[in-house]
Amino acid sequence: MAFVLTEEQTMLRDMAKDFFTEQVPVANLRKLRDEENADGYDKDVWKQIVELGFAGILIPEEHGGTGFGPMGLGIVMKEAGRTLAASPLYSTAVLGAGLIMAAGSDEQKAALLPNIAAGETLIALALEETNHHNPLNTAMTAEKSGDGFTLTGDKKFVIDGHIADTLIVVARTGGAAGDAQGLSMFLVDAKADGVSITRNHMVDSRNAASVSFGNVQVSADAVLGSLGGAYAELESSLDLARVCLAAEMLGGAETVFDTTLDYLKERKQFGVIIGTFQALKHRAAELFCEVEICQSVLLDALSALEERRNDTPRAASLAKARVGDALRLITNEGVQMHGGIGMTDAVDMGLFMKRARVQAQMLGDTNFHRTRYADLGGY
């Protein structure tokens, strides 16, 4: 287990930290929001991200990536989380690249991975159909039609859906909602006939879309992974994404904690620095413990992915749930300890809190993962 970063990983982290801190501070998200940017991300920033190799971090060198693996990706996502950096990194470099690498044919890999690494193709996973994450509940259908398939159904909470070039669509070729069997994945051109995409404006000012599929025709080679048996491939990619998301969340938790700690050291009330109040000190110390505990859980989950350990799903659920709980506590405390100004849009606490709640719902909240953790533990 790799609880200590290698020299290479440390360099990557420092590079990512410098980049996001300097080039993509929280102000960048504010600008996108206040200007009502239609893309929901900054194309110049994305270009820089690609140039730094972050888009291809999972992708092997033969396909134009840097092959840093999950640990590297987690390191970068954490730094992105520290500044709430909005970019297609999660949708494309984590979910997109992850799914294609896990389930794609050689042809699909060769066709898509280099474009992902080059930042030229944006991918979005169209998975959710209900208010709560649960892949088994997929009801959307893909019916055999000629050589190909006809896709019909509605997807929601499709991250980066309205900017994606290619959608990875999870649909049923068999079974019914609740079954693991019968799930398939399809690569669908976002501009295909019958695909209708509506951007949703979320509380975190980040991208999500509703996508409806009205008799969308795809050919047989659009199938990604095993027909009717995609659940395992999907789940393993989702675990990768869950851990990367936990990394992004922990990055946010760190910023909120650091900022709040600074505030405790400078804000005066009743003539004294509020950081001298013991009740606040103890709460700050407890938050510190939470952050530290989460670092361990995250590093373990990234190691599990890196080493393809059998307990990866459990480690992923532990990370998503434990970091999720900590982040909720820390963002709430961040606002409360800032007092009145914590409630204003002018300071960043609110932005982190809003983002935290969206992250909580992405790919399963604490309740989902606690239950899954117990399921996987055999009790």
Partner 1 sequence: MTALDSFREETRAWLEENCPASMRTPMPEREMPWGGRKASYPNPDTKTWMDNMASRGWTAPTWPAEYGGGGLSKEENKVLQEELGRIKARPALTSFGLWMLGPALLEFASEEQKKKYLGEIIRGEIRWCQGYSEPGAGSDLAGLQTKAEDKGDHYLVNGQKVWTSYADQCDWIFCLVRTDTSVKHDGISFLLIDMDDAGVEARPIKLISGASPFCETFLTDVKVPKENLVGELNKGWTIAKRLLEHERSMISGMGMGAGAASMGGMEAVAKENFGADGDKIAEPGIRQAVAEHKMDQQAFGLTLKRAEAEAKAGQGMGAAASMFKYYGTEVNKRRFELLLDLMGTQALGWEGEGFDKRELAVTRSWLRSKGNSIEGGTSEVQLNVIAKRVLGLPDA
In the bound state with a second copy, the residue whose beta carbon lies nearer, of 214 and 339, is 339
Q: How far is the CB of 338 from partner 1 (least distance, A)?
A: 9
How many CB atoms are located within 10 Å of the residue 51 CB? 11
Stretch of residues binding partner 1 (CB under 8 A), selected from 76-84, 146-154, 229-237, 275-283: 275-283
Per CB under 8 A, which of residues 188..227 are in contact with partner 1? 198-205, 208, 210
Using CB under 8 A as the binding rule, whether residue 343 contacts partner 1 is answered as yes
The owner of tokens 């530290």 is: 292
Residues 185-224 that bind a second copy (CB under 8 A): none
Picked from a second copy, partner 1, none, the partner binding residue 219 (CB below 5 to 8 A depending on kind) is none
Burial class (CB in 10 A: 0-12, 13-18, 19+), 309: middle
Based on CB atoms, which residue is closest to partner 1, 149 or 373?
A: 373
Q: Are strands 268-269 and 183-189 parallel, antiparallel or unpaired?
A: unpaired
In the region spanning residues 139 to 168, those forming contacts with partner 1, defined by CB under 8 A, are 156-157
Site string for a second copy, 219-258 (x = CB under 8 A): ----------------------------------------
CA distances from 171 to 185, 201, 330 (A): 6, 25, 37
Supply φ then ψ for residue 188, to 5 degrees. -125, 130
Whichever of 63 and 133 has its CB closer to partner 1, that residue is 133
List, in order, residues 6 or more apart from 188 with CB less than 8 Å away: 126, 151, 166, 167, 168, 169, 195, 213, 216, 218, 222
Stretch touching a second copy by CB under 8 A, among 231-239, 279-287, 328-336, 357-365: 279-287
Among 217, 280, 307, 309, binds partner 1 (CB under 8 A): 280
| Matching residue, tokens 């599929």 | 213
Residue of the chain from 43, 132, 201, 282 that contacts a second copy (CB under 8 A): 282
For residue 269, state whether it binds a second copy (rule: CB under 8 A). Answer: no
Considering only residues 119 to 138 of the shown chain, the ones binding partner 1 according to CB under 8 A are 128, 130-133
Q: Least distance to a second copy from the beta carbon of 281, Å?
A: 7
Count of residues binding partner 1 (CB under 8 A)? 82
CB 347 within 8 A of CB 341: yes
Measured distance CA(201)–CA(272) in Å, rounded: 42
Strands (E), 204-312: 207-218, 223-224, 268-269, 272-273
Ramachandran region of residue 36, left (φ > 0), alpha (ψ -120 to 50) or beta? left
Residue 315 and residue 360: Cα distance in Å, rounded?
Answer: 17
Select the residue interacting with partner 1 from 93, 168, 188, 264 (CB under 8 A): 264
Q: Which of residues 17, 134, 228, 277 is near a second copy by CB under 8 A? A: 277
Amino acid at 318: L
Exposed e or buried b for every residue in 200-209, given b needs 16+ CB within 10 A? Answer: eebebbbbbb
Q: Centre a 10 Å sphere on the Cβ of residue 82 and count the other Cβ atoms it contains.
A: 25
Nearer to a second copy by C-beta: 144 or 281?
Answer: 281
Report residue 210 as tokens. Answer: 């509703």
Strands (E), 131-182: 141-145, 148-158, 166-172
Closer Cβ to a second copy, 180 or 274, answer by number: 274
Distance CA 354, CA 342 (A): 13
The region of 70-78, 104-112, 118-126, 329-337 touching partner 1 under the rule CB under 8 A is 329-337
Instruction: Specify the 3-state DSSP secondary structure of 304.
Output: helix
Within residues 282-301, the interface with partner 1 by CB under 8 A covers 282, 284-286, 288-289, 292-297, 299-300
Which region among 50-58, 87-95, 219-227, 274-282 touches a second copy (by CB under 8 A)?
A: 274-282
| Interface with a second copy in residues 57-76 (CB under 8 A) | none
**Where does this chain bind a second copy (CB under 8 A)?**
277-279, 281-282
